């Protein structure tokens, strides 16, 4: 069979190699997330400064800020940077200042001579913080439980500079919401798994903690300050190591964020997020591009070879092995990260997400998001 069809034989070998790469990612990086045992010993529970940057987030601040201010933690402050909002944010924050003594607000006023991105607002919040331990989330996020701060802070001890958490999305109606939740979960499984394996490469600003002293010691956002995004992932990528980074993704530590309501809104957000990819470390870029490329090759060659019925029993066996491994780990991951209602959709999304992300990346090369785009 191999001698009679050398071209198909070569394609079958590439198919088998792509399957091996896929199994490597699932078993080496993704499986550790679902079998990980968080350390029982807690840190010293240092004072915490929670930092939230908000621009025109009046409704979300009204709905979600109380869940942050009412956390069950002995010593913490909440700093909201109200960055050039022209909605009702100022009035809502004024009401909450009277209600919550641990709330602080830093207002940034509009200046036609000075435009800025989110990193400037983040810097204002970090400067205003009185504590060394900083915990970040977004204005459209809510902690899942009152123990969010305590769970994230419990990992900080001598030598710990980063704690990377899980920030999922609030379940809603429609296919777009399911896709956003699926993609957020898979990205998290990847960055959490790589961190567990000693290769921390990113975190998300919806749930991320690090030390203020580290931020200023490493000159803040440094060489990537000009990049419109990256206040979370690029800072982690530049400064996190196997020795100074912990992960925390038990359910009590989760945050949930509002997902984009339209495809256009999601597309713009995705374009902004992907602007950081070229600035990752070379090894991270290699690992991040290898998985989706191998997945695209895997599915494409499976369809092609099956159409020729070339070694179809072996073809189906390899495909089945990957499918069983994928389903097992995905089901366990969804249970671990408390994601519901996307199991069946995940198999479809798994096929098309490399193509979708490829289109977004291509659009960034044609037209990059504005220099000072905030969010």
- The string of DSSP letters for 256-273 reads EEPPPSSHHHHHHHHHHH
- Rounded to whole angstroms, how far apart are CA atoms 335 and 97? 38
At the top level of CATH, which class does the domain 39-277 belong to?
alpha beta
- Rounded to whole angstroms, how far apart are CA atoms 277 and 260? 21
Q: Which of 147, 146, 185 is nearest to 167 (CA)?
A: 185
**pLDDT at 210 > cutoff 90:** yes
Q: Which of 347, 371, 319, 335 is nearest to 18 (CA)?
A: 319
**pLDDT at 373 > cutoff 90:** no
Helix axes 58-69, 89-99, angle to 10 degrees: 20
Q: Helical H runs in 25-88?
A: 31-35, 58-69
- Output the CA torsion 259→262→267→269 (10° steps): -40
φ, ψ of residue 27 in degrees (nearest 5): -85, -30
- Rounded to whole angstroms, how far apart are CA atoms 32 and 82? 39
Read off the pTM: 0.93
Asked if residues 53 and 122 have their Cβ atoms less than 8 Å apart, the reply is yes
List the chain domain ranges. 6-33+283-366, 39-277
**pLDDT at 370 > cutoff 60:** no
pLDDT of residue 375: 60
- Rounded to whole angstroms, how far apart are CA atoms 176 and 181? 9
Mean confidence (pLDDT) of the chain:
93
Among 85-94, 95-104, 221-230, 366-375, which is the least confidently predicted range? Answer: 366-375
Asked if residues 162 and 203 have their Cβ atoms less than 8 Å apart, the reply is yes
Q: How confident is the model at residue 2 (pLDDT cuts 50, 70, 90)?
A: low
Q: pLDDT for 153-192, tens place per residue?
A: 999 999 999 999 999 999 999 999 999 999 999 999 999 9
**pLDDT at 361 > cutoff 60:** yes
Q: pLDDT for 21-80, tens place per residue?
A: 999 999 999 999 999 999 886 667 899 999 999 999 999 999 999 999 999 999 999 999
**Tokens linked to 107:** 């207002």
**pLDDT at 291 > cutoff 90:** yes
Q: pLDDT for 246-285, tens place per residue?
A: 999 999 999 999 999 999 999 999 998 888 989 999 999 9
Q: How confident is the model at residue 1 (pLDDT cuts 50, 70, 90)?
A: low
- Rounded to whole angstroms, how far apart are CA atoms 65 and 54? 11
């Amino acid at each position: 069979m191999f001698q009679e069809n050398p071209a198909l034989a070569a394609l079958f070998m590439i198919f088998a190699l792509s399957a091996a790469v896929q199994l490597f990612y699932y078993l080496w990086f993704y499986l550790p997330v679902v079998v990980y045992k968080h350390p029982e010993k807690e840190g010293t529970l240092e004072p915490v400064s929670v930092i939230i940057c908000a621009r025109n987030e009046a409704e979300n601040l009204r709905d979600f800020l109380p869940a942050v201010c009412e956390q069950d933690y002995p010593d913490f402050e909440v700093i909201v940077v109200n960055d050039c909002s022209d909605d009702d944010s100022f009035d809502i924050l004024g009401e909450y200042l009277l209600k919550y003594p641990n709330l602080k607000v830093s207002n940034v006023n509009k200046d036609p001579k000075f435009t800025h991105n989110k990193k400037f607002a983040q810097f204002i919040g970090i400067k205003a913080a009185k504590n060394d331990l900083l915990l970040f989330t977004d204005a459209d996020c809510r902690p899942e439980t009152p123990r969010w701060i305590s769970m994230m802070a419990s990992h900080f001890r001598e030598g710990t500079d980063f704690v990377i958490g899980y920030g999922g999305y609030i379940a809603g109606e429609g296919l777009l919401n399911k896709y956003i939740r699926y993609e957020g979960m898979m990205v998290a499984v990847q960055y959490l798994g790589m961190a567990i394996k000693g290769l921390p490469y990113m975190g998300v600003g919806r749930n991320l903690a690090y030390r203020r002293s580290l931020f200023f010691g490493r000159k803040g956002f440094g060489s990537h300050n000009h990049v419109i995004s990256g206040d979370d992932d690029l800072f982690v990528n530049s400064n996190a190591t196997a020795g100074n980074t912990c992960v925390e993704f038990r359910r009590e530590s989760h945050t949930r964020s509002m997902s984009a309501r339209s495809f256009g809104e999601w597309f713009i957000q995705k374009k902004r997020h992907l602007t950081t990819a070229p600035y990752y470390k070379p090894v991270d870029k290699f690992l991040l591009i290898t998985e989706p490329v191998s997945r695209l090759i895997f599915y494409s060659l499976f369809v092609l070879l099956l159409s020729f019925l070339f070694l179809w029993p072996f073809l189906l066996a390899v495909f089945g092995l990957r499918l069983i491994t994928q389903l097992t780990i995905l089901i366990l991951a969804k249970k671990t990260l408390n994601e519901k209602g996307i199991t069946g959709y995940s198999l479809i999304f798994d096929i098309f997400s490399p193509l979708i992300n490829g289109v977004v990346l291509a659009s960034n090369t044609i037209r990059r998001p504005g220099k000072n785009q905030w969010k």
